[in-house]
Structures are given as C-alpha cells and as structure tokens.
Chains A and B, each alone.
Chain A
Amino acid sequence: MTQNRDKGAPDVAELTPVVYRELRQIAAAYLRRERPGQTLQATALVHEAYLRLAVAGSPWRDERHFVGIAARSMRQILVDRARARGAQKRWAELDRVTLSASLAAATDPESMLPAVDEALTRLEQIDPEQAKIVELRYFVGLGIEEAAAALEMSPATLKRRWAMARAWLFRELSSGR
C-alpha cells in the first residue's frame, strides 16, 4: 500500500466521487433485489463498496479507514436525494409546536434530513469527532462496536460521545432553526 502511495495513487479527496457512485450503484442493485435473499443494510453496502474499490493501489489504509470516507458519501447521497424529493418543504410545513415530540418519535425521518445535515455541518465546526460518529451511526448504521473500531476509540467512549451529539442535534432541530 505504502509503495502504491509513493507511486502517486490518487488521494482520498479525489476518490470520494468514485465512492459516492459505487455506493449508489450497489444500493440500487440491492433495491432491485439483485442480491437474492438479502435486504438492504448500509453496512453490507459499505463492505461491498470497499470490496469493489479498495484493492491494490487505493489510498485508504484498510477497511476501517474506508468506512470513514464512505460514511461521508452515504450522508451526501441520502441528503441529496431527500432534498430532491422535497424534504425541505415538508420540514417547513411541520407543526412547530409539536416539532420536538415528532422528532423524538422519529415520525418522518426523511423530512428532517436536510435540517440534520445543516446542523451536522455546524457540529463539525465545534466537534468534528462527534460529527463523524453521527455519520457512521446514523448515515451508515454502524453499531457501537463497529463505529468505535472505525474511529479507533473504546466503545464506552463512543457511546458517551454519540449521546452528546444526539442531544446537541436534537436541541438544534427542535429549536426550529
């Protein structure tokens, strides 16, 4: 791997669009039921994308490293698509009085996605690590253990940071900003 990098393999930022497309394609294949007997799981999706992209010559160190990059792409895919489907309009139409309750009940996750995305961008400025945790947990669906492994921290620490990020985002969204 190191040798490949010395030869000047493309860097991570340049490959992000590739990861984005690959994830889209594989996701679509799952939804078309091309993988018999398998339902869509974002984690499996990322594994498969890794398998297809991350071989000799790729700039990521290992699968855990790749998962971090893929998580950003997943967030982008899901938020772009929710926007295209008019999520913002529905978000604006939500009843502000009962907003906090409907967020807590997660009644319409799609409509809040653009708002989550914007709040997450603000959280990134304050605490990039917490923002990354949200990407892994919420946009890829990694479990506590897997997310902790991807970020090289203990599961207990990750669980506490996730709780705080969730509380922070909940406050941002329920305040209706």
Chain B
Amino acid sequence: MTSAQWQRVRELFEAAVDAEPSDLRQWLRAESDDAEVRAEVESLLRHHSRAGSFLNAPVPESVPELLDEEDALAPGTVIGQYNVVRELGRGAMGRVYLATDSRLGRQVALKALAPHLTGETSHRERLKREARAAASLAHSGICTVYALEEIDGHLFIVSELIDGHTLREEITRDRLPRAEAILSTARELAEALASAHAKGITHRDFKPENVMRDRAGRLKVLDFGLARGSAALTPLSSSPAGALATLPGLLVGTPAYMSPEQLNGQPADARADVFALGIVLYEYACGVHPFEASTPLGLAARVLESHARPVAESCRHIPPNVAAIVDRCLKKLPAERFASAGEIVQALASAELAPAQPAHFQTMWRVHQLVSMALYVIASTIAWEIKEQFKSPLSLWTFVAIGIAATITGVSRGHLLFTWRMNRSRLTHEWQRVRPAVVVIDLLIAVGLAVDGISFAAIRPLWGMLTIAFAVGLGLSTTLLEPATTAAAFDERLER
C-alpha cells in the first residue's frame, strides 16, 4: 500500500466512524474506486468494532509490577568478605542488605549501588570520592561508613547496621510528638548535620527516609553526600557540552525535600540542607508537609512560589523557639536562612532554657488575667457608686476616667488571652507590645480609685478605707503579682 493509499484509508476510516453509514459497502464504493483501499477500510472497521477493551487500560496501571526493578541479591550470596543475610530495603541509590562481615564477625548494612549509577568511570570515581568523604564523618548522629568495596565491577558501601525504624514511620503514625520530643529531634538532627557542614560536606538528600531512630532512641542520619555523587545519574561525558554532570540544571535528590534553588537548578550548598531540615522538622512536628500538594509537580510549584504556613499555626504544641527556627529554615532566599546547621545548633542551645512549664502555671496566668478583668468591673462600679453619692464634678470625671481606662486595659487582657488560645507563638510579641500600657493604665485606675476613696472616707470612713485598700491591691496586683505569675507560666520568656 502506498502512502497516498494509506492517507485515503485513514480519511475514509475516520469518516465512516463519524458517519456510521447503514450500508458500508455501498458507501465505500461511492467514496473510492480503489478496491484495495476499500478492503482495508472495511477490515479495519470490522476490527475496530470487535476490539473490545484491547489497549484500553494503560500498561503501567494494569501491570504496575513491570516498572519494578530486578537484580536483587539472594540470601546466602557471598560478596567478598560479606555474606548476604536478607534484604533490608531499597533506596534511590540501590538495595540495602543485612550482611555478615566474615572477617570481623559483625553484622553490617551492605548497600549495593545501582549499576546505572556506577556504570560510567568518571561518575563512579566521583561517587567513590563522595563516599570516602562521607566515611570521614564520625558523629554519633551519623551512620558510620565502614568501607567502600569494589567487587566484580559493583560498588558496595558497607556501613553500621542500625536496628530501628525511619523517621518516616514516626511521621505517618497517628500520634503527634510532644514538645520535648520535637526539641530533642531538632537538636539531634541539627547536630548531626552541623558536624558534616563543619567539614564542608553536605547531605543533599536529607529526608525522613534517610533518618533512622535506633533501639536506644538515638537518631542517625544515613546516606551522606551520596546524592551529590549521583549527579552521576548522567552518563554523558561524551556529549558536546562535556559531562552533563557539570550542567547546573540536573536535579538530584527528592523533589519533596528540595530547596527552591535546587529546583531552579542553581548551585546548592549547606543552606539547601537547612531548608530540607526545616521541612523534615515541620513534618515531624505537625504530621503534614509544609508545601503539601496532590502531585510532585504541584508540590514543587508551591516550594517555588508560595510561603509555608507558619509552623506554629499548623501545630500549637511546637515550642515557640523551635517554631521560629523552622520558619527561618523554610525561607525562599538562602541568604535569609541559617548559613549552616551549626547556626541552628546555637539557636537551639538558647532554646534550652525553655523547659516546658507545668500546664497549671499557665492556667494560673489565665486566671490572673480573668480576675484582673473582673477587678476593672468592680473598680468601675465603686466609682459609679461614689459619683452617685457625691454628685460632684470631681467624682464624675474620676468615674469617666476609670471607665475608659478599665475598658482599654480590659480589652488588652482579653486580647492576650485570645492570643494565648489561638496563636501562642505570637504571645511574647503581643505581651511586650501591650504590657507597658496595661501597667500605666492599671496604676491610673488605682490612683483614681484612691482619690475617690480619700474623699469618700470623709463621710463614710469604713467604705472609704476599703476603697483605698482596693486601689492599693489593684496596683500591687499589676506590679508585683502579674510578673510572678507570668514568669511561672512561661519561664520568664515573656518578660525578656
């Protein structure tokens, strides 16, 4: 069949599908005098009507296992001095096995780097360099690399075996962590990253899957620097532009934990790890990703374009100073973040002075606010009664002044209670803003009432004295009691 004939077959097939002629043969004879074309159209239409659900379900959906990898090492396989016991899991870099080191008689984690990462010499060398750099890291929060082995052309990374679970498993649990757990997790992860950053080594693929908690409860960061080595995803040193690995555009890492600069294909440094740490801590504390979206592309768009909801709004139980640190880690501009994890460690060190205060101390603070508000009502009522007794301009103006002052300071305290309830991370800020005015106004009310009391004492000594006592009590409550309840409830952080 010539290509002109095929064109005609296509036209006729499509026309027939649309028109659905009642007598196909007759319709075809009218349309074409080429018998070969007619026969082909007829045959295709016949098969069209019989094809049923042929090819209707896309392969990746009907047989998803076809997209799985092969090449696993069977238990019992001997690789150099290592005996494979069983597979522990799979990562982007390759499979990880539990193995026994027959020379040293200990159990190790054996990571077989996927062949496509190591196929090309220059990338292989680069990956080895990175792995060696990672092996130089010695920190209790980093999984120790024992050896880098090259056996039968395959690369293996032998490392400390960590018995435990990943941080991902903790995040997907239903229960959210307590404030103390958030603080200690933040501290351990920041310290681990900081020890690497201090040596100029960045992680590049920091995510909950790469953090494990061992049986003793200590966190260990895995796979340091390997993602950087895997810029070797690109076996193209023969290409005109030289190795594609040198192209700044190639993305490595997991999109959900990439910083805006990584997504934009710009060079990334320790501050990209800082960004990833911010996401991980956010997710750990709140159980949700700060840039949650239904597709990876949507998520990346949010990382690039929208700001994360402040972490304290997503979970109220996060310690305020950790919340401030997480929010700063998530800044779009690298320059606005911490320069390295070391700075986060320092920031967290000053968070140390904020051990969680017993909840009932905060209740006392709230009771103090409510009682103060009740005292303003009483003060206004007393001023009203005195004005009714004297009907003098002085008592009238005193009443008006006390009424206005009580309204202002009452609303201010109400505002603080509301902030405590709805937006606790702002409480320090709001307290510092409102506190001086509240003190001044409270003292004004006390003075006003004292003046009223003194004149009242002239006709009713007992009631006059009681009013003066009330005024003194109000003044002392603001100047002495309140700083004490606040300090007890918030460990003086509000007073700072």
Contact assessment for B296 and A47 in the assembled complex, using a CB-CB cutoff below 8 Å? yes
Chain A residues with CB below 8 A from B437, complex form: none
Q: Cβ of A31 and Cβ of B68 under 8 Å apart?
A: yes
A92 close to chain B: CB less than 8 A: no
Contacts of A56 in B (CB 8 A): 247-249, 264-265
Which residues of A (21-75) have their CB < 8 Å from a CB of B?
21-22, 24-25, 27-32, 34-36, 40-42, 44-45, 47-48, 50-53, 55-58, 74
Q: A18-B244, A106-B52, A109-B62 are in contact. Are A81 and B67 (CB under 8 A)?
A: yes
Q: How many Å from the CB of A161 to the closest CB on chain B?
A: 8
A82 touches B64 (CB 8 A): no
User: Restricting to B194-227, which residues have a CB under 8 Å from any CB of A?
Assistant: 209
* Residues in B whose Cβ lies below 8 Å from that of A150: none
CB-CB under 8 A from B67, the residues of chain A are: 24, 27-28, 30-31, 40, 45, 77-78, 81
Q: Are B58 and A170 in contact (CB under 8 A)?
A: no
In the complex, whether A139 has a CB less than 8 A from a CB of chain B is yes
Q: A137-B58, A171-B47 are in contact. Are A105 and B236 (CB under 8 A)?
A: no
Residues of A within 8 A of B3 (CB): 126
Nearest-neighbor residue (CB-CB) of B240 within chain A: A8
Contact between B209 and A78 (Cβ–Cβ < 8 Å)? no
- Are A81 and B66 closer than 8 Å at their CB atoms? yes
Q: How far in angstroms is the closest Cβ of chain A from B66?
A: 5
* Contact partners of A113 in chain B: CB under 8 A: 59, 66
Interface residues of B in 40-57 (CB under 8 A from A): 43-45, 47-48, 50-57
State the CA gap A55–B231 with chains docked (Å): 14
CB distance from A116 to the nearest CB of B (A): 8
Partner of B60, one of A36, A41, A53: A41
Closest-CB distance, A87 to chain B (whole angstroms):
9
Indicate whether B90 reaches chain A with its CB closer than 8 angstroms: yes
Residue of A nearest to B64 (CB): A40
Q: Assess the B59–A100 pair: CB atoms within 8 A.
A: no
B250 at the interface (CB under 8 A from A): yes
Does B36 have its Cβ within 8 Å of any Cβ on chain A? no
**Interface readout for A136-170 with B: 1 if CB under 8 Å, 0 if not?**
01111100000000000000000011011011111
Contact A35 B236 (CB under 8 A): no
CB-CB under 8 A for A170 and B47, given A25-B92, A55-B265, A57-B265 = yes
* Chain B residues, CB < 8 A from A31: 64-65, 67-68
A55 in contact with B264 (CB, 8 Å): yes
Q: Are B50 and A100 in contact (CB under 8 A)?
A: yes
- Determine if B439 is an interface residue (Cβ-Cβ < 8 Å): no
Q: Name the 10 nearest CB pairs between A and B, nearest first.
A: A104-B52, A141-B58, A27-B67, A10-B239, A42-B60, A167-B48, A8-B240, A57-B249, A55-B265, A55-B249
Binding site for B on A (CB under 8 A): 7-10, 14-15, 17-18, 21-22, 24-25, 27-32, 34-36, 40-42, 44-45, 47-48, 50-53, 55-58, 74, 77-78, 81-82, 84-85, 100, 103-106, 109-110, 113, 116, 126-127, 134, 137-141, 160-161, 163-164, 166-171, 174
